[in-house]
Structure 1
Amino acid sequence: MSDPVLLQELENGVLTLTLNRPDRLNSFTPELHALLREAFSRAESDDAVRCVLLTGAGRGFCAGQDLGERHPDAEGGAPDLGQTIGNLWNPLVRQIRALEKPVICAVNGVAAGAGANLALVCDIVLAAESARFIQSFAKLGLVPDTGGTWTMTRLLGEARAKALMLTGEPLNAPKAAEWGLIWKAVPDDYLMEEARALARHFAAGPTYGYGLTKRAVHAAGEQGLDASLDLERELQRKAGFSPDYAEGVRAFTDKRAPVFTGKPE
């Protein structure tokens, strides 16, 4: 019996998802797409899940799409890559962005093509210092996908985004952190320790407030200051009526650690 292509573990509010095709650098097949979509659906509906931690098994995080699954010389002719993106990658990106719980990505090695852009969709990206981010699409005559043109342009600016996409030059994790593409580069041996500690912190935190914050930040990239001010007002109104706000104030007054439920009411 073959090993599952996606490992799942729920412990103390943290749902850890490990891409598990190390012999193929965790490249994606339709099966892996389906399982990851199911896992994020679980994260959305299960109150026991307070944070998601995504990583990869073996020496790399993810090499993107398994090209063996989309070979141009396959019987029947070249595959419709637009269909692959529309049916598989785009729904996954939208699902991760819409999840109103923190999503951490621990990039344990090379992240290439759609694998790099999948990592960048997550809320907080930590990477091993030896990790590299590679926009490998140009080497195949393709266009960056999985939200890469949107994410990288906003995080890096047009000049750096275009240069990385057109050259396919690897960007190492320390430089990615320096440029603001990811949050932090961590010594390899401490990557998962730090990622798990951060995930546990979020899992014990005010999940409802985290979700509202994500909503405001995502909207800020698409609207002006006035609209953001109005949205902050409405979201703060919601947060102010939550049990976590009441608990946070009481804990502050009592000089103790808060015990958040993460629930809206």
Structure 2
Amino acid sequence: MPEATVNYSAENGVARITLDNPTRKNAITLSMAAAIESICDDIERDRSVGVVVVDARGSYFCSGADTRDLAASSTDAASDEAVRRTSAIYRCFVRVGQLPTPTIASVVGGAVGAGLNLALAADVLLVTPDAVLDSGFLARKIHPGGGHLSLVGRLLGPAGTVAMAGLGAAMSGSEASRRGLAYACVEAADMEAEIATLVKHAAADPDLARAIKNSVRLELGPPSVSLASALEIERGVQMWSLGRKGEDAWKNKPTKPTVTSDAP
């Protein structure tokens, strides 16, 4: 079988983290999780990157953690080795969520369990209409892990989280978009065009994109801050951006706003 790996590219301000284990529906192995961590370290240091896209090779985004690793951990779940294995998978979600740039997850086919965690760790989730978003833990008779309940809950609230994780309800991409779990629903053939539209401005100005991402974190948390506090958080960085732009730049016509689709 081909080696399970993670591909990385960075060009013109856009970085891509691509899962490459299509024969197992891009299940995340320990080596893949370590690769994602390492790539995130590189992105954090590379100030030329303004936006990151997380996607996968083939027709399915991610079926979760590799079941062979889960089976190995189940032989002695309290052992140091079992904890090490699961923690290694968890860290890759955390590192994606900690990236200083805006992040976009592109989900085709489906995302289950740890695969859904990875997708929801990104700032913006794009899905195809027929993609299946499934908690998956209940069906496998294991408790959710990797911050799954928090990742789902911050978008769907308690009721939606219990429905997905506690009752095993799955969602199509179309439904996920309607309910707020995904940012937009896009036909597979249009996904790359949608991504190109979204990344355009952040890729062109990485420093500003990173500054805005940092302010979003500071203001929205959790926990979120008051409007008065938000004003002060934004004041310094907005003045920095004004000074950087300069007076003469205001004579140029503004760029057109980014308008994304939300096809059913």
User: Which range, TM-score by smaller chain?
Assistant: 0.7 to 0.9
| Matched residue SS, 1:71 | helix
Report deviation, 1:231: 4.7
Aligned to 2:250: 252
Report deviation, 1:132: 1.2
Aligned to 2:132: 132
Q: Deviations over 1:82-128 (max 9, x none)?
A: 44343331x22332222221111110111000101210110111111
TM-score normalised according to structure 2 size: 0.85
Change (3 A) 1:223 1:110: closer
| Matched residue SS, 1:60 | coil
| Matched residue SS, 1:19 | strand
Distance 1:197 1:134 in 2: 28
Distance 2:44 2:29 in 1: 23
Q: Deviations over 1:14-65 (max 9, x none)?
A: 1112100000011111110111111111111012222111101112100110
Matched letter for residue 71 of structure 1: A
Matched letter for residue 244 of structure 2: A
| Matched residue SS, 1:238 | helix
The answer to whether the 8 A contact 1:100-1:208 is kept is no
| Matched residue SS, 1:10 | strand
Aligned to 2:260: none
The answer to whether the 8 A contact 1:108-1:131 is kept is yes
Matched letter for residue 160 of structure 2: R
Matched letter for residue 151 of structure 1: L
Aligned to 1:106: 106
| Matched residue SS, 2:166 | helix
Aligned to 1:84: 85
Deviates more, 1:34-43 or 1:231-240: 231-240
Q: Deviations over 1:222-265 (max 9, x none)?
A: 33543x632541343034224x763276433332659xxxxxxx
The answer to whether the 8 A contact 2:26-2:63 is kept is yes
| Matched residue SS, 1:144 | coil
The residue correspondences of 1:1-265 to structure 2 (distance < 5 A) are 2=2, 5-71=5-71, 77-80=75-78, 82-89=83-90, 91-205=91-205, 207-219=206-218, 220-223=220-223, 225-226=225-226, 229-242=228-241, 246-247=244-245, 250-255=248-253, 257=255
| Matched residue SS, 2:222 | coil
Distance 1:125 1:240 in 2: 31
The answer to whether the 8 A contact 2:69-2:85 is kept is no
Matched letter for residue 160 of structure 1: G
Aligned-residue CA RMSD (Å): 2.5
Identity %: 25
The answer to whether the 8 A contact 1:21-1:27 is kept is yes
Distance 2:46 2:85 in 1: 28
Report deviation, 1:4: 6.0
What is the total number of aligned residue pairs between the two structures?
Answer: 252
| Matched residue SS, 2:139 | helix
TM-score normalised according to structure 1 size: 0.84
| Matched residue SS, 1:62 | coil
Matched letter for residue 163 of structure 1: A
Change (3 A) 1:224 1:40: closer
Distance 2:26 2:246 in 1: 41
Change (3 A) 1:62 1:245: farther
Report deviation, 1:180: 0.8
Distance 1:250 1:141 in 2: 63
Structure 1 residue runs without a partner (length 5+):
259-265
